[in-house]
């Protein structure tokens, strides 16, 4: 497996978002050249309706692309330079799709309101015909699904079903967009383009959410050992059943354990979590860093038991089946350009660095200062192995930073230990607060932004932390445990915008 350099990764990472913007803008550009603009904006009704159509075309495109980006396709991941960046784009296209379709609804109602309020309200009922009502149902379904995602505390299974509902919502939205009068008449090229994009979105949804168990390539493993390192941390060692997975140091996989021992967890009514078959975790796919070195016979992961799923894994039995999908990610000492590196791990964030340290070869030209940050030194698992690797080579130095004794790791300490930080590549994996703190401090110390590399999935905000209780941040299909002030303000602003635009339309209609 060939690693890409930091510069190549940054270049590729810009390609994906740029491509998304261009694909969303394409139908808008085609629409603008299809018919003279003076005809489209002749009067309040025509102008509002035209703006609504523009929002619909761009919003439908963003919705389709959201499904494609969320399907976890390897070729798409490469366009964004990693799954973390890909899912940030997934979140943003989802937000853009909802905002544009909200604008479409508001502008359509406002346009009709210039004729009369009754004419506008008639569009919201079945009497308007199924083509129109399909759009109403799609937007209502999208709003409910987003509301549940942001505001309700959902169990994992319910959350997965809610996320899958977006695919069915998109089917209704696509039917509405392609059968509404005007769409197929404005431009044959635009209609063909939207059809292709919609087909891609539906195919991606079917691939991941409907036929995933058949189409998605997953390798079979069997659990060889379950090593309980302490009361909360467990190492799981798996051996392949058939061809083993090929991975690079620092990558991760999605793993499912369809074991009966992972059933019937205790249900706490105090948690106020909406769930189906509460506590059922068998068969769920969760992301975990690979801690084994590339080329090892076994595949190893290490998890910390803080959530339902990771607590259940402590009951996993030897010989249990495992399904593995991946590998994903490009967070690695091999994918950065500089030879001089600092690795900073926070707690269970040590996992990708374990794979990197175990993969070091005698002829590797890399010099590493590895800071292992924990609350108490006794929590520094695998420390003996890491120190043994460091003792065998002069270019790896391991330092434990125990908060109870040393406080938090800071850029000032790194500068004191290392000297000039401006030519150092910094790789960090740990809690979001640690990542953001070190990022801010190191940028202030003169470290270039492209020399700071963090393993973080910030596409899903889950309450007080965007990182799950596992060793990796939450995947896109994980329950959110709250909503940020920004998301709440955006939702309320969108609803207020709809109401204001509708009221303006009524006023305009009443003055005509």
Give the per-residue pLDDT at 471: 40
- For the chain (length 512 residues), average pLDDT per consecutive 10? 45 77 91 79 88 93 95 88 85 93 94 89 89 93 87 73 91 91 69 92 94 91 95 95 93 87 50 52 84 94 84 89 92 89 95 96 90 95 96 94 95 93 94 93 93 66 33 36 46 51 49 46
Judge residue 259's burial from the number of C-beta atoms within 10 Å of its C-beta, 0-12 exposed, 13-18 middle, 19 or more buried: buried
CA angle 191, 194, 199 (to 5 degrees): 125
Q: How far apart are CA 92 and CA 375, in angstroms?
A: 35
* Phi, psi dihedral angles at 180 (to 5 degrees): -70, 140
Give the per-residue pLDDT at 308: 74
Strands (E), 353-422: 367-374, 396-402
Cα dihedral 255→461→458→326 (10° resolution):
10
- Say which residues have a Cβ less than 8 Å from residue 327's Cβ, sequence separation at least 6: 245, 246, 247, 248, 251, 252, 253, 290
Q: Both tokens of residue 332?
A: 């690695």
CA angle 335, 339, 343 (to 5 degrees): 70
Judge residue 505's burial from the number of C-beta atoms within 10 Å of its C-beta, 0-12 exposed, 13-18 middle, 19 or more buried: buried
Q: How far apart are CA 229 and CA 279, in angstroms?
A: 24
* Phi, psi dihedral angles at 379 (to 5 degrees): -85, 0
For the entire predicted model, the pTM comes to 0.78
Domains of the chain from N-terminus onward? 6-214+485-511 (no CATH), 219-328 (2.40.30.10), 336-454 (3.40.50.80)
Q: How far apart are CA 72 and CA 70, in angstroms?
A: 5
Give the per-residue pLDDT at 281: 67
CA angle 283, 288, 290 (to 5 degrees): 125
**DSSP state letter for 334:** G
């Amino acid at each position: 497996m060939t690693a890409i350099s930091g510069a190549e990764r940054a270049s590729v990472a810009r390609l994906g978002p740029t491509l998304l913007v261009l694909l969303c803008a394409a139908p808008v550009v085609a629409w603008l050249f299809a018919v003279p603009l003076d005809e489209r904006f002749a009067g309040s009704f025509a102008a509002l309706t035209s703006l609504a159509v523009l929002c619909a075309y761009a919003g439908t495109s963003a919705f389709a692309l959201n499904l494609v980006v969320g399907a976890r396709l390897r070729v798409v991941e490469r366009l964004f330079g990693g799954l973390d960046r890909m899912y940030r784009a997934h979140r943003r296209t989802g937000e853009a799709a909802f905002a544009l379709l909200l604008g479409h609804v508001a502008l359509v109602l406002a346009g009709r309101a210039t004729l009369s309020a009754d004419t506008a309200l008639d569009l919201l009922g079945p009497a308007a015909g199924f083509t129109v009502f399909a759009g109403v149902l799609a937007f209502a379904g999208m709003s409910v699904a987003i509301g549940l995602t942001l505001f309700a505390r959902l169990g994992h299974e319910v959350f997965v079903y809610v996320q899958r509902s977006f695919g069915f919502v998109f089917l209704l939205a696509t039917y509405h967009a392609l059968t509404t009068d005007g769409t197929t008449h404005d431009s044959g090229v635009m209609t063909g383009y939207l059809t292709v994009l919609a087909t891609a979105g539906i195919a991606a949804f079917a691939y991941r959410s409907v036929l995933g168990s058949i189409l998605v390539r997953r390798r079979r493993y069997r659990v060889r050992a379950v090593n309980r390192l302490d009361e909360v941390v467990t190492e799981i060692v798996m051996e392949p059943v058939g061809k083993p997975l090929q991975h690079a140091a620092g990558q991760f996989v999605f793993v499912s354990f369809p074991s009966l021992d992972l059933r019937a967890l205790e249900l706490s009514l105090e948690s106020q979590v909406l769930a189906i078959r509460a506590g059922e975790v068998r068969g769920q796919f969760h992301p975990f860093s690979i801690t084994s070195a590339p080329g090892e016979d076994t595949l190893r992961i290490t998890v910390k038991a803080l959530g339902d799923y990771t607590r259940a894994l402590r009951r996993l039995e030897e010989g249990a089946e495992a399904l593995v999908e991946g590998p994903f990610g490009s967070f690695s000492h091999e994918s950065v350009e500089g030879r001089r590196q600092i690795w900073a791990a926070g707690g269970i964030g040590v996992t990708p660095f374990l794979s990197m340290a175990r993969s070091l070869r005698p002829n590797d030209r890399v010099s590493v200062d590895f800071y292992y940050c924990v609350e108490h030194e006794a929590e520094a698992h695998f420390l003996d192995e890491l120190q043994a690797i460091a003792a065998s080579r002069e270019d790896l130095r391991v330092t434990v930073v125990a908060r109870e004794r040393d406080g938090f790791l800071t850029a000032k300490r790194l500068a004191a230990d290392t000297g000039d930080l401006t030519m150092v590549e910094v790789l960090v994996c740990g809690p979001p607060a640690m990542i953001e703190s070190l990022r801010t401090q190191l940028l202030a110390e003169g470290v270039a932004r492209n020399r700071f590399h963090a393993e973080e999935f910030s596409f899903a905000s889950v309450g007080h932390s965007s990182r799950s209780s596992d060793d990796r941040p939450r995947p896109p299909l994980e329950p959110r445990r709250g909503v940020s002030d920004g998301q709440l303000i955006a939702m309320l602003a969108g609803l207020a915008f709809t109401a204001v635009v509708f009221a303006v339309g009524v006023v305009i209609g009443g003055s005509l």
